């Protein structure tokens, strides 16, 4: 029996359309591409650990890439667990620590990546057991700023200052962190500049 050429062509066309739709429906972006990132604390982070690590290493090549990749994975995992924007949290860590160069009150072995409790020489900041716990404390503190008291943490409480946050004025985005998290009125602009560099790959 001879094949109907019209049906055969229609079959090939349908297969091509299916392939194209499948390719474009994939949510995973190639490593070299970045989307428009949200500035809201409770939005989903979009960058993968590899993309975050690439951004970091471009700004501090003295760090081991595999170490930073694991470190970035902590941010993605911990932020997802608490519904926090991992892109914004990672940018804040870069700002607060100078891309893990430190040099201020908080020292590297504190595993304190957001300046928790850092006030003066007598109060240089909170200390955490390891990198993962330090990242968790950072994410939990952001969750404290961004949610009401009825929103509970999904992981065990690590942040010793979590209950110090008075949730009378919720912080929705990075702009609200100026004057609440940090006294610097340009704090929001500095975080935004880092996120813009992540988007445009101007590392």
Residue 203 has a pLDDT of: 55
Which element (helix H / strand E) includes 14? helix 5-25
The residue with tokens 């409790």 is: 117
Q: Which two tokens stand for residue 183?
A: 């006294």
Backbone phi, psi, residue 182, to 5°: -130, 150
Residue 164 DSSP SS3? helix
| pLDDT tens figures, 148-185 | 999 999 999 999 999 988 777 899 999 999 988 988 99
Residue 35 token pair: 């989307």
User: pLDDT tens digits for 42-89?
Assistant: 999 999 999 999 999 999 999 999 999 999 999 999 999 999 999 999
For residue 14, the model assigns a pLDDT of 44
The structure tokens listed for 132 are: 């993962």
* 182: DSSP letter: B
Residues 6+ apart with CB under 8 A from 191: 88, 91, 92, 95, 174, 177
Mean of all residue pLDDT scores within the chain: 84
Contacts of 163 (CB under 8 A, 6+ apart): 144
pTM score: 0.81
Q: DSSP alpha helices (H): ranges in 65-179?
A: 65-82, 86-97, 131-146
3-state helix, strand, coil in the chain (%, to 5): 50, 5, 45
Query: Whats the size of the chain, residue-wise?
Result: 203
Determine the straight-line distance between the first and last CA of the chain, rounded to whole angstroms. 62
Q: Where do we find the tokens 């890439």?
A: 65
Residues 110/126, Cβ–Cβ less than 8 Å? yes
């Amino acid at each position: 029996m001879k094949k109907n050429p019209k049906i055969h062509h229609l079959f090939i066309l349908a297969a091509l359309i299916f392939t194209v739709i499948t390719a474009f429906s994939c949510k995973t972006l190639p490593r070299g591409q970045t989307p428009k990132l949200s500035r809201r604390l409770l939005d989903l982070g979009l960058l993968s650990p590899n993309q975050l690590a690439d951004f970091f290493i471009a700004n501090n090549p003295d760090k081991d890439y595999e170490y930073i990749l694991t470190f970035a994975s902590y941010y993605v995992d911990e932020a997802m667990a608490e519904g926090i924007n991992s892109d914004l949290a990672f940018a804040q860590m870069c700002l607060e620590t100078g891309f893990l160069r430190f040099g201020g009150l908080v020292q590297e072995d504190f595993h304190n990546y957001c300046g928790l409790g850092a006030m003066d020489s007598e109060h240089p900041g909170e200390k955490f057991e390891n990198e993962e716990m330090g990242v968790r404390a950072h994410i939990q503190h952001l969750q404290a700023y961004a949610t009401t008291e009825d929103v509970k943490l999904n992981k065990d409480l690590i942040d010793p200052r979590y209950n110090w946050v008075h949730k009378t004025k919720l912080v929705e985005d990075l702009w609200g962190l100026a004057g609440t998290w940090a006294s610097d009125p340009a704090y929001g602009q500095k975080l935004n500049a880092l996120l813009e560099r992540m988007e445009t790959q101007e590392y």
